[in-house]
Amino acid sequence: METFKYKAYGLQELAQLYFPGSTPQSASTQLRKWMRIKALDQKLKAASYVYGQKILTPLQVKVIVEHIGEPETV
């Protein structure tokens, strides 16, 4: 298994890593739901995340991964 790389990801691209069996739209919807959890939402806002943003910065990706864990398939 490779080490997860903190780089810029498209929201849909990252979502597909967390939900590989889902359609891109369904995966994105589920990841956005997770991102709205209060503690994660606050951390993402502190990392300059803006709702509707399609590209996540490496810092925002790191915040997500630290909060919910690495995707199973990398």
For the stretch 32-51, pLDDT in tens is 999 999 999 999 999 999 99
Q: pTM of the entire structure?
A: 0.89
Is the per-residue pLDDT at 73 higher than 80?
Answer: no
Q: Tell me the three state secondary structure of residue 48.
A: coil
Per-chain mean pLDDT for the chain: 93
In the chain, % of residues over pLDDT 70: 95
CA dist 20 and 12 (Å) reads 11
What is the domain partition of the chain in residue ranges?
A: 9-68
